[in-house]
């Protein structure tokens, strides 16, 4: 089957809470996956080296791109390195009353990406027999 990867690294350059290694993580993960046969990538970083900026809309579009046309036997990979967070849950589905979130570059304007949105966009559309690996290097990740 096909092998496809969405890789996100956000250093939040020049912003409060700036991180240092997330874009490097993205580069390292891409090399790691290339060594394992992956050839189809979408890389979102805020250092000017990726395919696009890691905005909320670009990440959500990346989720759609990753799962589009997925079939049994495919191997999909999602990597996120950046800030994680938590917000008061929108539904009654969280024991702790909080949704875990990913924090896109434009979170102040566009908002964070909630765990339920990730489930709906990245997991539920997948057919039986399609493998998704998600590696998230962030606080409040799970």
Tokens 């700036």 locate to 18
Separation between Cα atoms, residue 44 and residue 23, nearest integer Å:
9
Structure tokens at 81: 């390195």
Active site residue 23: no
Q: Check if the beta carbon of residue 117 is closer than 8 Å to that of residue 100.
A: no
Q: Output the six-digit token pair for 49.
A: 């080296």
Catalytic status, residue 139: yes
Residue of 22, 23, 83, 138 marked catalytic: 83
Catalytic residues: 83, 139
């Amino acid at each position: 089957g096909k092998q496809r990867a969405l890789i996100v690294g956000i250093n939040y350059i020049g912003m409060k809470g700036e991180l240092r290694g997330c874009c490097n993580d993205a580069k390292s993960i891409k090399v790691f996956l290339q060594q394992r046969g992956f050839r189809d990538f979408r890389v979102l970083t805020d250092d000017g080296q990726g395919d696009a900026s890691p905005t909320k809309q670009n990440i959500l579009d990346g989720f759609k791109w990753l799962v589009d046309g997925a079939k049994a036997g495919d191997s999909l990979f999602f990597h996120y390195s950046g800030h994680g967070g938590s917000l008061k849950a929108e539904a009654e589905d969280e024991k702790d009353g909080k949704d875990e979130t990913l924090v896109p570059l434009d979170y102040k304007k566009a908002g964070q990406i909630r765990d339920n949105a990730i489930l709906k966009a990245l997991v539920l559309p997948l057919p039986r027999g399609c493998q998704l690996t998600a590696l998230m290097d962030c606080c409040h990740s799970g």
